Structure 1
């Protein structure tokens, strides 16, 4: 897993982080589900996970913000 952080968050990244913070997201493999629906950006879940902004205890299931994700969301 990469520890690279995105230099800036785009609108979609911030919206996904807000949805994760609200408990509305899960992973199904690398795919991020929001309210049970696949995110249109098929790489968003993997990108946020690889950046260390979200974390899941398993490959399939609910996700949560990491400390870095919380800081990025608070700064946005």
Structure 2
């Protein structure tokens, strides 16, 4: 289980951007924020593998766990 102490500041910022509806995920798991590729090419896959962002192409969505972490911060 990932906790807020395991997340970097960048991870938390990306989760907040996903929660705000500002992110998309490509078919190969690349995360874009405000239409631009994220500077950390691994953050989308890392947060998806941690179970915080739902996998799949289209608008990025938080999982229940991801939403709980954003709300707890």
The two structures have a TM-score, normalised by structure 1, of 0.83
Where do 4+ consecutive residues of structure 1 move more than 4 Å?
Answer: none
Provide the aligned C-alpha RMSD in A.
Answer: 1.5
- The answer for the alignment partner of 1:15 in structure 2 is 13
Q: How many pairs were matched up?
A: 71
- In structure 1, stretches of 5+ residues that fail to align are none
TM-score, structure 2 normalization: 0.86
Matches of 2:60 and 2:54, distance apart in 1 = 5
Q: Does 1:68 align with 2:65?
A: yes
